[in-house]
Structure formats: structure tokens, C-alpha cells
Structure 1
Amino acid sequence: MKLIYILFLSVIFSVNVHAQGTGGKGKITGKVTDAATKQPVDYATVAIYKQGVAAPFNGISTDPKGGFILDKIPAGEYKITVDFLGYQRTTIEHVLVKDGGNTTLNDILLAPVPHQLKGVTITATTPTVENKIDKMVYNPQNDLSAQGGVAIDILKKVPQITVDIDGNVELQGNANIRFLINGKPSSIFGASLADALASIPASQIKSIEVVTSPGAKYDAAGTGGIINIILKDSRVEGVNGSINLSAGTRRENGSFNLNVRKGNFGVNAFFSGNAQINTNSPNSRTRNSTDSALNRTTLLQDGSNNFKRNGYESGINFTWNISKHDDLTAGVGFNHFGNHGEGVTNQDQSVFNVAGQQLSNLQSIRNSSSKFNGTATDVNLNYKKTFDTEGQELNILYSSSFGNNSFSSFQQQNYFTAGIPSTGIRNNNPGKDHETNISVDYTQPLSKDFTIETGGKLVFDHINNNVITDSLAGSTFVPNAGQTYGFTYDRKIYAYYLSASTSLFNKFLDVKAGLRDEYTSTNADFQGVTIPGYNTLAPSLVFQHKLDASQSIKLSYTRRIERPEYGDLNPFLNISDPHNISTGNPQLKPELGDNFELGYNKSYDKGANINIAAFYRRNTDDIQSFTTFYSQLDINGTTYTDVSLNQRYNLGSEVRTGVNLYGSVPVTKEFNLRSNMIFSDRISNNPGSPSVSGFAYRLNLNAQYSFGHDLSAEFFGNYNSSQKGIQGVNPKFVFYNFAMRKQFLNKKASFGLTASNPFSKYVGQRSTTFGSNFNQVNIRNIPVQSFGISLSYKFGKLDFKKDNEKDDKEPGNREESAPADKGR
């Protein structure tokens, strides 16, 4: 890791020295107006090219008054282009920039398109990865291998994110991530994150925003950071939409979008559904353990599980531009997902004494099943007011999410030894969840280079949960009073923040600093448990220096919090496998994380881009799962033997250091390569135990080739290494796929083919777990091989009209809309 950091700093230093030697810098200023009405054109796209070069090296959007400033431009000769939807492009050739000079252009007039366009398909070139001061944005529009897939397939390609075989997501190696949809919370993420991410079709996703160092406007929850999934909508005048269908050997899904906009009012409606076809996963577990008498027990479990998943989501959103300064948006969404699993496991349990003599042998077969269903209804209302002063803005947001979840499980163990009765348990676990967020954010520019932001937020979370358990007695199931109970859980979060941004040393350095204060109050009627309230101060600081128009360096710090969720606290014992029991820990304290990041970004004339980010993360009161082995465990009067009990604890501290390398290179006009690499080392320090260091890395490669005639192909390969943890080793993961897409009907329609891991039916997963008196090896074979086809069609008549908002200002894309703590 030291070598990586030395190389990282050497690259930045050498580039900086080179940049300092390029001579003075100048700037270009101008204003864009409508040639017919003479009104300013806000959010027009201004691009700058080196004279004679085909690709731009920088760009900017005009402000609400039509103005723009392109600064830190090296001396030379340039070409400027100005574009906006519904207008003809304007080009200004041979713009001269002198050292330290200010080149002021005459008013740039945009001429409207002379006639209304009918039945037109708009093709816009959006970079796959955009690196902004506060976040990284991944745009999957040209992601061929994710066509017909779901959100988890796209996340596998996003820089700084790793996804394992089970759909567990980490951001810079940290799994404590706050997931949002359109910048707002949803209880869809509460009950099962993997199911939720597998229920959102890739065709519905416009972009994914990754925020590793959130500022004070962002809620402090999630020590790993924030991932915001932006769904597609449209602000184009007229009626238009799209239909997407896919079918395959493992997954089927479809989606429908309809957008209607007339004048100042717009409506977006959508529906999508998907299903994962039943798959069978063979698995085995071998555990060796010793008891207090030094007798050794060997447990062999060998079986398979059938699993299937389904889900759908729908929603309708309204936008109303009440006036020049007042906007109102509202939306209602409904989500449903579920899964069903069934398994058969053969078990062989043998006990040996110190001399190696077998004392007993018990053979059995266990039949099990589980079923989960979850629904979530989300409503939101957002009012935004702007003022005559550029940048002054008021936002008021109300959002509420209602969830209903039901989980049931069954297991019965039948013994081959005569005289031993069968054992079994079944339970039903219904629950309701209601979360409400109310926030007010205000931005006030005090001068051209100094802006303050402030606001407050209230979060109210209420959960009702019931557990109904029956145990097998003879040949019938009877109520188990010790495992039947209900509880309520209430959490309130009160937050306030203040931040300021400015430029220092004649715009040499951009600085943004903030402080957020959050107080958390939690009440749960777990028997004999009182959860104390706590206050958290979360400072944040960002420094950014633009070396020139094409490269920048950024240093950031932020403090984050990971609150234990009700599932972590709930003392309910999951005994679906009597040899592997899990439970919550109501004594958990919140985990605090201090995150530092140093980043460098460089864009090249012909479209290449590199991004390097080194990070240091230190968590205290680190929340981790820990397994304890019991030769005998009594639970409400029932004794279970040879049991591994898994529970969450605050286990000291964890330090993770690493570097993320991302690069995109257009090798030729037709051939493009993208790669992302993460190298990190995790050190866990646990009181009373030696520290554990685990190095891990992730490598991926994306190659895309265009054959012309609207035909293109793609290859994507991903390798996640294994990593040592506090009690064992997590397995490695290899994944690759191929895809092709043919567009036709003037790019309104497309046909695609995909193949995932086509040369191997299963991906083998071998993990180990050990403790002072046991060790075990788990082997799973996960079916990932699949073949699929996809169809997409865009329809509608588009009437172009300048809107007074651009995409980055839409509700859900704003920094201030990111809400509170991680989904339950």
C-alpha cells in the first residue's frame, strides 16, 4: 500500500509540475441569447475546442442570465460551440486567449429551429463516467451487457463499487451504504437490499450517483457513503415514451414509460416487472468443533437450494412550473418484490473422544423453505423557489414511505436412527414500516465567490413487528410461546447543518466546509432493553484545485455515522437451521467513521479520461458479525446441539486504506476501453484479540466496439479477490459477459443479445470461518450462466421547447435532496 501511495503522489506531483510549466492562463466570457426574443438562454451547453481538434476538452452551462465563464484556459487559439435543445448550433472560430487575459465575446445569438420536428429521435453523447466536485456519476445509456438486466448488473460496473455473488454491495470496501431512489428514501431498501436492487430493471435507470465524501447537506448516515439511483423521466414537450422487454434463461423483465408535457405541466408514469427463474444451488458445509471435555464433533451438511425471485414497481410523477421562480413536483410510487426458497440437506453428525474413538453418529435429512414478500408505497412533495439573485434558492421537501413485509420459514429434521423423534420449527414474521422525512434547505450567495447553505431535517421512523412461532411436537406443530412475541420500534432524528463555499487565492483553490448536527432518539419495547439517545457532530471539508481546464485535484474529509437498524437490534432468534442460528443485539452502539480522500482527474482532447482516488477510512465502535460456537445452547427451554450463533457486535475499530484507479480510452473511433481497479487493505483491531489485516482488490475491463450500421458489441469481465476477515476468509468472485446490440428504425428500436458466464454453469464459492473451538468450510455453487434477448422501442412526437431547468437541477438530482440514514 505504501508503494501505491508513493506512485499516486508521484503521478500527481509530476502532472502538477508539468501544468505549472505551461505558462499563464486566461479566460473567456460571454452571454447567450435567443435570436428571436432577445431573452437569455439559461443552461445552454458551451463547449471549447482547441482549434483544429475534433473533440472538446472542456465545457460549461450558461447561468440563469445566459452568462458563462470559461477560466484557467491556456494561451492559444480555440473554437467555441453553443447548443440548446430546439435551437441551431452556433460556432465561433479562432477565439484567441492570451496569458492572463480576459477574452469577452459579443452576445451569442441562438436561432430557434425553423419548424417543428415530428417523430424525431434525439441522440445525445453523454460520457459514461462524470467526475464532479461532490460525486461521481455513472451513465449506463450505452451499457450493452446490462440490457435486460437489473440495478445490480449496472452497479458491478460503477467505479469504486464492488458487488459479490449474492448482490452485497460495498463502496470503497464499506458495506454501510445509504441507498436512495431519485434522492429520496424508500422502504423498498429496508427489508431486503438484494431483492430491492434485483427488482429495478436496468432499462429504468438514467444514472447512478456515487458520493464517497458527502457534505453537510447530506444526512450523516452510512459510513460507506451514498448511492443514489436516478430513474428515467422526461422534460421534453409533447407525448413520448419507451417499451423494454427481455427474456432469458435466468431472468425476465419488462418496463413501460410514458411522458406527457404541455407548457408548464408534465406527467411521467412508469411500470416495470421482473422475475428470476427458479435456480438450484448445490452447497456443503464441514464443521469441526471441540467441547469442554475435548470431545471432537464433526458436522457434515450437503444439499441444495431452489430459489426464485419476482418484483414489480410503478409510479406517477407530476411537475408544475408555477412561475419563473416557483416549481412544484409530486410523486407516488409503489414497489413489490418477493422470493421463495426450498432446500434439502443431508446431515451427518459424529462425536469422537480424545483417543479418536467414535462416541456417536447421528444422520438426518432436513427439509426447509422460506418465503418473503415486501411492498412499499412512497409519496413525495417538493417545492422549490428561486430568486432574482443568482444562486439564491429555497427547497422544502416532504416524503413518506409505507412498507408492509412478511417473512415465513419452515424446517423439519427427520432422523435415520430409530427412536429419535423428528424436530422442526416454523414461523411467520409480518411487519409494518412507516418513515417520514421533512426537510428545508436554503442557499444564499453573499458575494460572487462566497455562498452559505443552511437547513434542517426531521426523520420519523415507526415499525411494528410480530413473530409467531410453532414447534413440532410429535406429528403436529404447536404454538411456541417462548418464540412468539411482538414489538414496536420508534426512531426520531433531528438534524441541522450550516455550510459555506468560497474561492481563495484568486480562484486558485475552491473550498467547501460544513458542519451537521444530528440527534437520534430510539425507543423499542425489547424486554429489559433501554436504548439511550445520542448526538452526532459531522464536519466536512473539501479542497479542490483546477490545475487547468482539463485536470483537477481534490482533498476531502467527512465524518459519517452508522446507526444500528432494528434488524441489528432485534433479539429474535432465527432457527431456520438449528445448527446455524442468528440473532440481533439490542446493546449495539452507533458506529462512527472518519473518511479522507485524495483524488485526481484528467481529461484528454480525444475523449480519454483517468481518475485516481486514494482513501483512508477509520471506523470506531465498528459493527461486525461474529460467530460463537456452542456445543449446547438452551433457547426458551429447548436445547440445541452443535450450534454456531451469529450476532452483531461493536468490535473495536477498523482502518481501511486503498486506491481506486479508473480509466477510459477511445483506442480508435470504433473501439473503446474502460477499466476500474480497487486495491485496499483492511485492519481490524479488536480488544483482547490480535489485529487482523486483509488485503483485497477488484479488477474489471469493459471493451466496446462499433461495427457501424448501428451495430455494436461489448465484453465485460470482473474479478473480486478473496479477503481475510476477523474470523475467516471471504471467497473470490469471477464474472464475465458478452453482449451485442442492433439499432434500427432511426435508432428508435433496438435488439440485443447477452451471454453471462457462457462457458461455466456455476461459480464456486469457498469460504472459511473459525473461532477458538471450531472451524468450518462452506462451499456453494452459484448458477450464473445465462443467455438472453432484449427489445427496446421509443415512441412519441417531440415538440422542442426550452425548459427552465436542466437535468442536474431536477428534483432527485440535487445534493440537498439526499435524506437521512441507511434503509432498514
Structure 2
Amino acid sequence: MANTSVKAEVLARPHGWQQAQVVLLTGTVVDKGTQQPVEFATIALQTPSGKVLSGTSADARGKFTFPKVAAGSYQLVVTYLGYAPLTHAFTVSAEATALDVGTLSLSAADQTMKEVVVSAEKDLIQDTDDGLVYNAEKDITNIGGTAADVLKKVPMLSVDIDGNVEMRGSSKIKVLINNKPSSMMAANLAEALQQIPADMIKSVEVITNPSAKHDAEGSAGVINIVTKSTLMQGMTGAVNASVGNRTSNLNASLNGRKGKTGIRASAGGNLNNRHGDSETEQLYLRDKLSTSGDLYTENREIEQASRFDNQDQSGFLQLGGDHDFNDKNNLSANLRLNKSFSDNERVLTSEENNYTTQFQRQFQRDILTEGRNQSLEANLDYTRRFQKKGQELEVLGLYSTNRNNSQNHLTQLEEATTVNYREEADNLVANKEATVQADYTHPFEKWGKLEVGTKAILRQSESNHQLFSASTAEGPLDPNPRRSNIFQYDQNVYSTYFSYTLRVQSKYVMRLGARYEYTHVAGDFISTQNSIEKTFKNLMPNVTLSRTFEQGKRLRLSYSTRIHRPQIQLLNPYIDSTNVYNIRYGNPDLDAELTHNTEVNYTHPIKTTTVNASVYWRQTNNDIGAFQFEELVTRNGEQIIRRNTTQRNIGRNAVYGLSLSTTTRFKQKGQVGVNGNLYYTSLQSNALQKTSAGWMYSLNSNASYRFLETYSVQVSGSFNSRKFDLQSRSTASYSYSLGLRKEFWDKKAGLSLNIENFIGGNLTTRNSVYTETYVQDLLNRYHSNSWQNNYNRVVRLSFNYKFGKMEFKPGQEKKGIVNEDKEKAGEIQVTDPKAPATGKTRRSNSKKKQ
């Protein structure tokens, strides 16, 4: 096939489209030989003379839509790399309300391109049936960063300074990698996100109301991180390197495909450092009775200051491959190894004053925590396609292990001079997980499609914590049985589901489904010889109704039920008393929480602007949340007030919200997006006899522009309002970034400079806690203010280089997330790298018919 250039030009006022009855035009593009869909095929709508009126591209099922076509004669020109162009003439009658042009079959081209450069301009944010997609590879401010940096810019998501992720104000989410669960993500999400280079991420899918096919885990929804891959023939590779004051990384990838077999490999490493300081003021007011029976208030105050310096190193190796035995059978496999090291130093100084008894105490704790983590993930995926298009069976097996060993070294100095306490702690956490699932899809010629499946997840976890302590600098370290524990935990989840989707006249979509999950939990405390055993049986319905109007407008109503099971770190009763005034431990009696999600979504395209608005309601009746209380204890012969932080099923949590996003494009050279989320949270706990309610919101925006062909600039920013729960409040946080990029060597290489939070280097947040408890009918009041200062200025210089040659040949389309009824506008440019660099491309006006 000769070198061509095809550009789908979307006109603001297309000829013949005004003041007339319009119809919805649909069709499907398939490979003539295999009858498989041709995803991303470009479809240009033209007049019979060849004038381009509009353009779009096919989705993962090969389907395309033109929402507004007036009566008259037209032709469709269908093109895709590796295929010969196809021209299809048709007529829209004045009486028609909708027209399906049927199946358009593309034939393989006579020749194969030796080398091509593909540029596909996508919107940074795209709407889908279940949520949205953030095309991370189009955001140059992500280059050289980590997955945590990427998620900060995704609408509906927020990431705090510690790397904790929330969706619409909730941290109870499920994170997938390429639609598959990851033990690395489940064990420690914040740490795992730091280990994934942003350069390897293609897009992030936010699914607010997943279908019944998805696991029900994750009360707020699902985040799917999609990594880069290729189906093209030949061999390519990429090298990405960055150096910065906070994060530096180096990673490389290699992709190859010959005939029916593809292989891929990637490896990389990351260095990350974070430092800052914090201050805490704690005030205790405790009613007491004097010996004479008079009531008075004991006043105690504790002031603490902390400095921390965290150093993290991580590396990974990933291998994968797939093979098409024929056009109906495919087998793929993937293996990933991760390893990380961390050294976290902290100096904690404490001063306690009892203004009633004039007691005063000062001491300092030097704390070093060394962490070592390694994990392995392997999966095998078999897909069987049948004669009927869209009918397929997929069987997946997955196995993962994760081993985390941390050692804690603590030295306490009284009056900052004399060592009067030491402790050494060794904590080993080992997780194993095996998954087997089968999914079957059966399309009906006129009645939509049916999806059914079953799944089994077997999890084993063990936590072995041993602590040794001494009361002098040189004394022997003796075992501390009270603070040592071995905890074994098994969680098995068995599920089955069905989901039925019906589409009527390409305007109406109805999806009905249900998922049943049976969960068995068993835990043994070896040290104390206690055990727990629980069973959960949950039937979770799912329904989505949508209506597509002219000009691409769409209204969607959805309801789903989700579940959130407590992880082992919330169940483990091990006591963390690194801070003697504030201890933390898990609660093995936690129950899983069930959440009801309802959402109404409306999408309205206006020329080059797309507006997306959602109204949603989320309610959990047995919400898992932090619970804090105070108690008076004796330590080393002295009475101190100690705060306890644990978890409880605290009660009802209802959230009512509105999210709004807009994206505007500027003639394929730039775009501006603004996203906001406003929600009202109502918390009510009968057990704590407390209620709390109020408004919260988040905003993020981005703007990008490409100029002089090889230069681009992008700015982004985010703001998260104050947050609260039943017992605490925290202040707002924000971040902003600026990215500059220069491409060279025929756009095979690029140099990027990214700076974040360059105006103010430190981000200060405050957290306030207020509790009241009665002990023997006497009131105990506690109030705490904590300030944390994080050095948040980031400067990062990145270089990336792509190499190798690829040949585009018709082949089997691999399965992915299908976003049906989604119009994809953009351009695909094919240029000959050996041709003179004129900055222009040629437009193909081929009218050859097949």
C-alpha cells in the first residue's frame, strides 16, 4: 500500500446539515478474511464529489456512529493501516429516522509499510458507558513520574500527600492492572503506585458503576490502569530516564511480534525520597473528684514534634507473550517481579505537662524502620472465539505472592540525654493469592448479548510480629509477649454472575445483571490461641439504562451494589506503640460493608466542547471507619493518658454529590479541561452517639498546546477541600504542575522538563481530632491539633527514546475494555520517515471501490 495520509476533518458547520430532518447513521467495520472487528478504523463521511463532512473511528467492536446526517447522497471512505481503502456510497431518504449501513469489510493491502509513524490525537478525558478514561500518555506532565503522579490528575480521584487514593471522597476502591487484580496493589496501594513508572501507563479508566462482570469489591468503584502494548508486526523498544530532586527512574521496554506470536519485556528502577516535619498539640480535660467530694478538672497537655526522612528504592521485571493458534484460539501469559527497599528515619520529641499536679516530662525517640518487599504475579489467559461474531469464552488463571519484612529500631532518651528504653521489632507479612475464572459472552442477532461467568479467589495471609525491649542502653533485649503476635488469615471468595445488554435502534441501551458472592473468612491468633470465623453471602444487582439523542447527547441512569471487605492490616490486632501517646491496632471483629450506588449522567457535545455532568448518591449502612478514644494507663510507674486508634463498623455513611467536567479542543493543537466534584456527606453512628455532616469538593484542571510541530506545553492543577469524619477534621490541599516538551529525531525522542509546586516549596496540612468519653460518669474531653509540613516542590528532567521498525498487518484484535456508543474523534497520520520534513501531510482522496 502506498504511503497515505488520512485526516478526519470535523467541520463546525457541515454542508447540508442545517435546517433539515437528520438521522442517526451507524455501521460496523470488519476484516474481510477473519470477520473480526477492525478497531480504530477511520471512517470519513463525504459528499459524492469527495468533500469531507465529518469523521470518526470504530470502537473495539468495529462499530461507528454519525449522530446527525441530513437526507441526501453520501459516501463513506474507510481506511486503516494494512488495509486497502474502501468506499461505500449510500442515500439517506427524507422519511428515514435512522440508517444502518451494515457491515463494511476491509481487505488486506497488497503491500506492507516498511516503517510508519502513527499519531492519534485523543481527548485527554473521554466519556464511557461506566465512567471516564484519562489518556495519561497524552499528558506530558506525567513523563518521568510515577502512577501516583498520574492519578492526581484524573477526574473524580484525589491523592493526598501520603499517596492515599480516593474516588469521590471514598478510599474504598478496587485497583486493577490491565483488568486484572494485583496483590501488589492490594497489599499497599500507596507504595505500589510509587513503583509503577508513569511512562508505562497508557490510560486510567474510572468505573463508577461497574457491571456485574466486575468483582463487587470496592464500595466507591474501580480504577483500571492500562499499560502500553502493541499488536504490530516487527520489533520496537523504548528507553525512559528521568532525574529529579524527589524522584528518579530508569526503565526500558521491548515489544516484538512475528506472525501469530508476540513477546514483550520491560524492566526498570525507581528512587524516591520524601522529607518533612510535623507538630502535634494534644489537650486533655478530665473531670475528677477530690478527696472532699468536690468536682474539678484535671488539665494535661502534650506537645510533640517530629522530623522524618524517607528513602525508597524499587525495581521490577515484567515478561509476557501471546500466541494465536488460529483466528479462534489465543493464549497469553504474563509474569511480573517486584522488589523494593525503604529506610525511614524519624525523630520524635515529646513534652507532657500536667497543670493540675505540676508534673512535667520530656523525652525523645529515635526511630529507624527498614522495609524489604518482594512480590511475584503470574497469569495465564486462554480465549476461544466462535463462529458467531462476539461469541467467546475466556478462562483466566492468576497466582501471586507478596512478602513484606520490616524491622523497627527504637531508642528512647529521657531529657534527650539518658537512654532509658530500647526496642527491636520484626514484622513479617506474607500473602498468597490464587484466582481462577471463566467468562462466556453470547450475542443474539436481534436481542443484544448475554454474559455469564464464575470465579474463585483463594487468599492466605500471615503476620508474624515479634518485639524485644530493654530498659537500659546496654541491657539485653527481652521478648515482649504482650506486644508480639502471630496472626493467620484466610479469605475465600466464590462468585457467579450474569449480565444482559439490549440495544434498540442504536438509541436505547438496557443492561441488567446480578452477581452473587460467597465469602468465607477464618483467622487464628496463634499467640493468644483465639480464632474468628465469618461467612458473608451477598446478592448484588446491577442495572443501567441509557438513551442517546441527536448530536451525540446521552442520558444514563445506573444502580449497583458494591461490597468492601476489610484487609488484613485493618483486622490484625498487633499494637503499634511507636508513639507512646497514640497507639494503633486492628479490629478482627470488623464486618464487610455493603454500599448502594445510584447515578444519573448526562453528556452534551457542543461543537468542539464536551460537557459531562453526573448526580450521584452513595449509601453505606455499616461503614468501616477510624475510631479513637482515650484511656488512663500506668507506664513505668507513671499515669499517662493514651489515645487509641482502631477501626469499627461505625454506622451509616450517605454521600450526595454532583460532578461536572468539560473538555474543549483547539483545532487538534490543544485542549482545556476543567473537572469538579461537589458532595454532601452525612455520617451517623448510634454506637458512638455522634453525627457529622457537611459539604466537601475537589477541582482539577489542565490545559495543553502543541506549537511548531515538535514543541508542546501543558499545565495542570488540583485542589481538594477540607475533609472530615465523625471525630476529626483536616484542612485543604492543592498541587500544580507545568510541563515543557521538545521532540526530535522524527519524533522518536523527546526531552521534557516538569516542575510542580514551584511557588511554595512546603505544603502544610492540619488535622484536628475532638472526642468525649465518660468514665465512671465523669467526662473526659480530648482535643488534638496536628500540623504536617511536607517538602513538595518537584523538578524533573526526562528523556525518552523509541526505536525499532514495525509493519502494520491485518491481525487478530485482542480483547480489551469495550466502551460502546462512544464516538472517537481525531486523526491518524501516516508519514514516510524518509520523506523530506515539510511539516505537511498529503490527504488521500482515493475513490477506488471494492
TM-score, normalising length: structure 2: 0.86
User: Counterparts of 2:252 and 2:763 in 1: how far apart (Å)?
Assistant: 33
Equivalent residue for 1:137? 133
Mean Cα deviation higher: 437-446 or 199-208: 437-446
- 1:620 positional shift: 1.3
The change in CA–CA distance for 1:423 and 1:696 in structure 2 (over 3 A counts) is same
The change in CA–CA distance for 1:670 and 1:236 in structure 2 (over 3 A counts) is closer
Match of 2:117 among 117, 121, 125: 121
CA contact (8 A) 1:135 1:209 kept: yes
User: Counterparts of 1:95 and 1:643 in 2: how far apart (Å)?
Assistant: 80
Equivalent residue for 1:560? 562
Equivalent residue for 1:432? 430
- 1:624 positional shift: 0.2
Any idea what SS the aligned residue of 1:189 has? helix
Equivalent residue for 1:649? 648
The change in CA–CA distance for 1:29 and 1:152 in structure 2 (over 3 A counts) is closer
Match of 1:288 among 283, 286, 293: 283
User: Counterparts of 1:586 and 1:276 in 2: how far apart (Å)?
Assistant: 34
User: Counterparts of 2:681 and 2:151 in 1: how far apart (Å)?
Assistant: 22
Any idea what SS the aligned residue of 1:370 has? strand
Equivalent residue for 2:794? 786
The change in CA–CA distance for 1:24 and 1:507 in structure 2 (over 3 A counts) is same
* Paired letter, 1:474: T
Equivalent residue for 2:70? 75
* 1:267 and 2:268 are equivalent in the alignment: no
Equivalent residue for 1:85? 81
- 1:190 positional shift: 3.1
Equivalent residue for 1:676? 675
User: Counterparts of 2:542 and 2:20 in 1: how far apart (Å)?
Assistant: 33
* 1:758 and 2:761 are equivalent in the alignment: no
* Paired letter, 1:535: K
The change in CA–CA distance for 1:485 and 1:57 in structure 2 (over 3 A counts) is same
Match of 2:240 among 225, 234, 244: 244
Equivalent residue for 2:330? 327
* Paired letter, 2:159: V
Equivalent residue for 2:373? 374
CA contact (8 A) 2:367 2:408 kept: yes
* Paired letter, 2:316: E
What are the residue-to-residue correspondences of 1:409-808 with 2, within 5 Å?
409-416=408-415, 422-475=420-473, 476=475, 477-504=477-504, 508-526=507-525, 527-606=529-608, 608-632=609-633, 641-667=640-666, 669-687=668-686, 688-772=688-772, 773-806=781-814
The change in CA–CA distance for 1:191 and 1:667 in structure 2 (over 3 A counts) is same
Mean Cα deviation higher: 308-317 or 377-386: 308-317
User: Counterparts of 1:281 and 1:703 in 2: how far apart (Å)?
Assistant: 31
Aligned pairs, number: 777
* Paired letter, 1:593: T
* Paired letter, 1:705: Y
1:660-694 residue CA offsets vs partner (Å, 9 max, x unmatched): 11111124554421111111111101105242113
* Paired letter, 2:795: F
User: Counterparts of 2:748 and 2:65 in 1: how far apart (Å)?
Assistant: 36
User: Counterparts of 2:101 and 2:565 in 1: how far apart (Å)?
Assistant: 53
Structure 1: gaps (5+ residues): 1-18, 816-824
* Paired letter, 2:279: S
The change in CA–CA distance for 1:32 and 1:441 in structure 2 (over 3 A counts) is closer
- 1:252 positional shift: 0.1
Equivalent residue for 1:5? none
* Paired letter, 1:149: G
The change in CA–CA distance for 1:663 and 1:50 in structure 2 (over 3 A counts) is farther
Any idea what SS the aligned residue of 2:311 has? strand
Any idea what SS the aligned residue of 1:587 has? coil
Any idea what SS the aligned residue of 2:530 has? coil
The change in CA–CA distance for 1:290 and 1:426 in structure 2 (over 3 A counts) is farther
CA contact (8 A) 1:633 1:643 kept: no
Equivalent residue for 1:390? 389
* 1:176 and 2:177 are equivalent in the alignment: no
- 1:254 positional shift: 1.6
- 1:731 positional shift: 2.1
The change in CA–CA distance for 1:614 and 1:541 in structure 2 (over 3 A counts) is same
1:594-613 residue CA offsets vs partner (Å, 9 max, x unmatched): 0001111233443x222111
- 1:300 positional shift: 0.6
- 1:88 positional shift: 5.2
User: Counterparts of 1:434 and 1:90 in 2: how far apart (Å)?
Assistant: 52
- 1:565 positional shift: 1.4
Structure 2: gaps (5+ residues): 1-16, 289-296, 773-780, 820-850
The change in CA–CA distance for 1:130 and 1:91 in structure 2 (over 3 A counts) is farther
* Paired letter, 1:570: N
User: Counterparts of 1:429 and 1:48 in 2: how far apart (Å)?
Assistant: 62
The change in CA–CA distance for 1:525 and 1:640 in structure 2 (over 3 A counts) is farther
1:394-448 residue CA offsets vs partner (Å, 9 max, x unmatched): 1111001111111222322211299x87123321101211001100111122332
The change in CA–CA distance for 1:639 and 1:86 in structure 2 (over 3 A counts) is farther
1:638-680 residue CA offsets vs partner (Å, 9 max, x unmatched): 9872321110000111001111111111245544211111111
Equivalent residue for 2:822? none
Equivalent residue for 2:364? 365
- 1:94 positional shift: 8.8
The change in CA–CA distance for 1:48 and 1:511 in structure 2 (over 3 A counts) is farther
* Paired letter, 1:86: G
Mean Cα deviation higher: 369-378 or 201-210: 369-378
Any idea what SS the aligned residue of 1:557 has? strand
Mean Cα deviation higher: 519-528 or 663-672: 663-672
- 1:196 positional shift: 0.4
- 1:791 positional shift: 0.5
* Paired letter, 1:785: R
User: Counterparts of 2:280 and 2:97 in 1: how far apart (Å)?
Assistant: 71
Any idea what SS the aligned residue of 2:138 has? coil
Any idea what SS the aligned residue of 1:221 has? coil
CA contact (8 A) 2:240 2:799 kept: yes
The change in CA–CA distance for 1:500 and 1:160 in structure 2 (over 3 A counts) is same
Identity fraction in percent:
26
User: Counterparts of 1:651 and 1:53 in 2: how far apart (Å)?
Assistant: 64
Mean Cα deviation higher: 664-673 or 584-593: 664-673
* Paired letter, 2:498: L
Mean Cα deviation higher: 52-61 or 112-121: 52-61
Any idea what SS the aligned residue of 1:391 has? coil
User: Counterparts of 1:559 and 1:638 in 2: how far apart (Å)?
Assistant: 52
User: Counterparts of 1:194 and 1:802 in 2: how far apart (Å)?
Assistant: 40
The change in CA–CA distance for 1:81 and 1:781 in structure 2 (over 3 A counts) is farther
- 1:244 positional shift: 0.6
- 1:108 positional shift: 5.7
The change in CA–CA distance for 1:794 and 1:412 in structure 2 (over 3 A counts) is same
User: Counterparts of 1:558 and 1:208 in 2: how far apart (Å)?
Assistant: 21
User: Counterparts of 2:53 and 2:354 in 1: how far apart (Å)?
Assistant: 72
CA RMSD of the aligned region, Å? 2.7
The change in CA–CA distance for 1:390 and 1:671 in structure 2 (over 3 A counts) is closer
* Paired letter, 1:557: Y
User: Counterparts of 2:427 and 2:145 in 1: how far apart (Å)?
Assistant: 31
Any idea what SS the aligned residue of 2:569 has? helix
- 1:131 positional shift: 1.8
1:158-193 residue CA offsets vs partner (Å, 9 max, x unmatched): 121111121111112111011111111222123321
- 1:761 positional shift: 1.5
TM-score, normalising length: structure 1: 0.89
The change in CA–CA distance for 1:49 and 1:170 in structure 2 (over 3 A counts) is farther
CA contact (8 A) 1:413 1:424 kept: yes
- 1:756 positional shift: 0.8
Mean Cα deviation higher: 388-397 or 335-344: 335-344
* Paired letter, 1:159: P
Any idea what SS the aligned residue of 1:525 has? strand
Equivalent residue for 2:163? 167
